[in-house]
Chains A and B, each alone.
Chain A
């Protein structure tokens, strides 16, 4: 067979071409689809927990099984859904937004996708199919609980290996993104004209390069302790379990910004487009993101206020300070809407939902930054509600906004706006009904990670509401899947630029050709596609 024929065959064999392509767009879509599949798994696990907690008394799960549910739920949502969905969007969008034909290292890119997917499958296996017990030690896996004596099964070992693969994949993607943005920008695309999503991904990638290595070291030491007689965290041998907490949270806290910054970027792309205005305060926004990145490497021990083993005031100060650049962004977003001619497609609704939810997450975060308040609220359902307001109400709403905004670019087809609005309404109501009552349960004294809680202690109503809210959200997700199906079955042409977009991806076809651009338009501002489509306009 001639090489040309072989090449042609490779090109046309559907699934294989997807799984072996080094095209950044295909890898990006693969990342997003895989991450979304993990979201459905993690969401199902959450449903099992809400089922158990709907009323007091133990109904469905053994305590150990329940511990496995939240361990895998947390790991999946953080490391296999939100973060990789951000990577997927970055893979898809960054070369388009900067006018490049592909990422800097296409093969590394594909390899990182495969490492991520294999690591993700290992993590799922670690929860269920593990001789001697699954991973049941929580997503931050504190020793001595996660050490051999108290978690003897192979589950935690598989979990550590899976997480290791995912972390290596994340580092590879970070290297790729930084290199691509620094070296592959089209002529005229200066750093101060970069779309905010790309800017945020640069900062996320730098954070990843800083934060993942110490955590990998921590997990390596934990693995040594579990299987090879290591003693770094064993108090009886002079080790100290608190060291693990430092190593872990030195990843863990930048990680929450790794999770949220991509979606700050997403809504910053969306809000100005639908306000029919330029972004308000571009420079201030970028400086604020840089400040968040820098400060986020100095806040980790606010997870350790109750240990009595860290300098609480220092970490309280850093944590309070990070509220400032976050607050600045709220003014950027509001200022971008101010004086606009705002329209409200689903992507805009999810972006506004993000603002409303994330604000509550931010304000409660400031409360938790005060050590004295944290002494009460840490490890309670108040904390659970707080971080779901940032991660679910924020990042996940950002993911849905991104899907409704860029799906037309990725596929050339529109999603159904009316269904999208139903998805938004169900998700927004369901989310708040689920998590608002958890603030109350937590303040009253309900600890997190419990399979059961006493009756008549003020926990029953909040928990029942939480479980009902979950059902509403789940219906919203089903509506979304139906929307995907309908748009596939009865396609509605999207056209190249259905939203009157700003950044460069709206200046090419939908979906874009393999080489992305037939011709790069002149780049004279941070809105090249807008300039192209509105010659001489200023709005």
Chain B
């Protein structure tokens, strides 16, 4: 009777949790990219599985502690039950976790493949070079380059250069570093990748929501690591085209073609 109640209470708690969780993010940022949405779905599965497992284990521990505490009525040297093992039970509690983690494994591989897939023909390519302590974003086809100001003042945390991306289009990020290991992290995309000197790594991001997102270096890279921040601004493809046009017109750093005499003079 008492146990039946407990089981029903646990089932109710689990079900209401699942109900609440539709649309929940459990602390994750609202994903602003297609890849981030896939990661969020996986996260929710892991989170629900984790909460259910934790509730069961906590429930068992709480039950043991409360139900099987020594009471005032027990004699001083009272001893508990003397059972030492229960093979069928032990097999059950070994096999069930194996089934759970095998399931989680296949889900996680599926999501990882989705998140790290690179399109054969991306809409845009941006070369990202990390250095101590800043970022260089180069748009080779558009002839645009954005570089960090040298870092060194305390106001710089959370500031930094702007990486402008068109929404709804797939951008290939080609990432490298020219000194030590950094990591390119945009929490809004739920994604980071290490920038390792001597290696080039590529991934795609397909932003879905216009807006400004903060980014940071996530791998310790020395003195000004905390100040190696940047922003990602996602705009409509039209605004993006206008932005690249204005940038290549004014950019003297890395023009796509040789500047005309007028531009060079300006």
Whether, in the assembled complex, B224 has its beta carbon less than 8 Å from a beta carbon of chain A, the answer is yes
Establish whether residues A537 and B50, one from each chain, have CB atoms under 8 Å apart when the complex forms.
Answer: no
Interface residues in B36-87 by Cβ distance below 8 A to A read: 38-39, 42-43, 46-47, 49-50, 53-54, 57-58, 60-61, 64-65, 68-70, 74, 77-86
* B163 interface hit (Cβ, 8 Å): no
Point out the residue from B85, B90, B104, B183 that lies within 8 Å of A366, measured CB to CB: B104
Range of interface residues on B (Cβ < 8 Å):
35 or more
The reply to whether the CB of A536 lies closer than 8 angstroms to some CB of chain B is: no
Q: Is the Cβ of B27 less than 8 Å from the Cβ of A440?
A: yes
Among B136-144, B185-193, B250-258, which stretch is in contact with chain A?
Answer: B185-193
For the complex formed, measure the closest distance between the CB of B97 and the CB atoms of chain A, giving whole angstroms: 4
B74, chain A: closest CB distance, angstroms: 6
Is A328 a contact of B191 with CB atoms below 8 Å? no
Whether A366 pairs with B61 at a CB distance below 8 angstroms is no
CB pair A63 B58 closer than 8 Å? no
Q: 7 interchain pairs (CB within 8 A)?
A: A236-B198, A240-B198, A276-B80, A284-B90, A339-B83, A376-B191, A445-B214
Q: Given contacts A278-B84, A447-B217, could you give 20 more A-B pairs where the C-beta distance is less than 8 Å?
A: A63-B223, A63-B226, A151-B222, A241-B181, A276-B70, A306-B192, A324-B98, A331-B90, A341-B68, A342-B69, A366-B101, A371-B108, A375-B193, A376-B187, A380-B218, A445-B185, A447-B226, A452-B226, A453-B158, A454-B158
A287 to chain B, nearest CB (A): 9
A277 touches B185 (CB 8 A): no
Residues in chain B near residue A334, CB distance under 8 A: 57, 60-61, 64
What residues of chain A lie closer than 8 Å to B128, measured between beta carbons? Answer: none
Determine whether the beta carbon of B104 is less than 8 Å from that of A320. Answer: yes
Instruction: Decide if B104 touches A370 in the complex (CB within 8 Å).
Output: yes
Give the CA-CA distance A337 to B81 in the complex, in Å.
10
Point out residues on A near B: beta carbons under 8 Å. 56-58, 63-64, 67, 136-138, 142-145, 150-151, 235-236, 239-242, 275-284, 306-309, 312-313, 316-317, 320-321, 323-324, 327-328, 330-331, 334-335, 337-344, 352, 355-356, 359-360, 363-364, 366-367, 369-373, 375-376, 378-380, 439-440, 443-445, 447-455, 457, 500, 537-539
A-B contact count (CB 8 A): 282
Pair B104/A313 contact, Cβ less than 8 Å: no
Q: Are the CB atoms of A340 and B193 closer together than 8 Å?
A: no
Q: Which residue of B lies closest to A64 (CB)?
A: B223
Q: Please name the residue on chain B nearest to A58 by beta carbon.
A: B154
Q: Is B266 an interface residue (CB 8 A)?
A: no
Q: With contacts A144-B179, A150-B179, A363-B54 known, is A282 near B84, CB below 8 A?
A: yes
The chain B residues found within 8 Å of chain A, CB to CB, are: 26-29, 38-39, 42-43, 46-47, 49-50, 53-54, 57-58, 60-61, 64-65, 68-70, 74, 77-86, 89-90, 93-94, 97-98, 101, 104-105, 107-109, 111-112, 114-116, 132, 154, 157-158, 179-181, 183, 185, 187-188, 190-194, 196-199, 201, 203, 214, 216-227, 229
Cα A135 to Cα B165 with chains together (Å) = 39
Asked whether B64 lies within 8 Å of A150 as measured between CB atoms, the reply is no
Across the interface, do A279 and B84 meet the contact criterion of CB distance under 8 Å?
yes
Is B94 within 8 A of A328, CB to CB?
yes
Q: How far is the CB of A186 from chain B (nearest CB, A)?
A: 22
